[in-house]
Amino acid sequence: MKKIMVLALNDMKNIRRDSMLLPIIIAPIMLTLLARFGIPAIRNMVLEKLSFDIYPYYDFIALLFLMVIPMMVSIIEGFILLDDKDEEMLSYFAITPLTKSGYLKYRLISSLIVCFILINLFLIFSNLVKYSFLKFMLISLLASLEGAIGAIILATFASNKVEGLALSKALSLFILPSAIAYFVKSKLHWFGAFVPHFWMEKSFMAALYGNNFILFLTIGLICHMALLYYLVRSLVYKY
């Protein structure tokens, strides 16, 4: 536990000193404030100027934010992993009692915890959708896995922070199948089922409107866990 606390304190120091990471950790809080105060103001403005009500799309806005927040966390954790990789810290941890496996577990668990907290803060304070507490605890868990997946992708396929930043932008494409699933009502939208993030949309909408929630959540968890398992094995094999 002492080693974990040392790592956590070191992470906080690194984030505070890094001009790139600090705004990213603040971003989820800003998104929550935007959802709480900005979206209603935007709704009133659009309604007044264009006579168009965006209220029916609050569920999609909430879904979009729920996928962006884990992306922010994944960038932070991924960049920290890249820094540690550049400094050959993974080799160092491999010969310590913590071990490389223990270090990677810490990274995964910390990203899951941070994601889970930030997502639940968003759900509680954003006031965009009405939800069942238990269902959205499970949705938060599913969304948190996306943060861990993004972090491992950055650490595995990027060589440095510059490549990591470019790759993090590419990761935003994972949101596309969810957007298609929301707006496209034909059966063609099921082509997105090969992307784990697709099941985030299915689970989220089912949690709101009560259609096949357990089925979609179970498939989503299996897909996310399978991808995460593959990525972790790839990272360990590579380093």
Q: How do residues 71-122 score in pLDDT, each as one tens digit?
A: 888 888 888 888 777 776 666 666 667 677 777 778 788 888 888 988 988 8
- pTM to 2 decimals? 0.85
Mean pLDDT of the chain: 83
pLDDT over 70 (residue 13): no
**What angle (nearest 5°) sits at the alpha carbon of residue 82, between those of residues 81 and 87?**
100
Q: Which tokens in the block code for residue 135?
A: 């269902």
Higher-pLDDT residue of 92 and 124 is 124
pLDDT of residue 4: 62
Counting other chains too, the contacts that 54-61 makes at CB distance below 8 Å and 24 or more residues apart are 58/128, 58/129, 59/128, 59/129, 59/204, 59/205, 59/208, 60/179, 60/182, 61/35, 61/128
Higher-pLDDT residue of 68 and 178 is 68
pLDDT of residue 44: 93
**What angle (nearest 5°) sits at the alpha carbon of residue 25, between those of residues 197 and 106?**
70
> What is the share, in percent, of the chain residues with pLDDT greater than 70?
85
Region of poorest pLDDT, from 85-94, 129-138, 173-182: 85-94
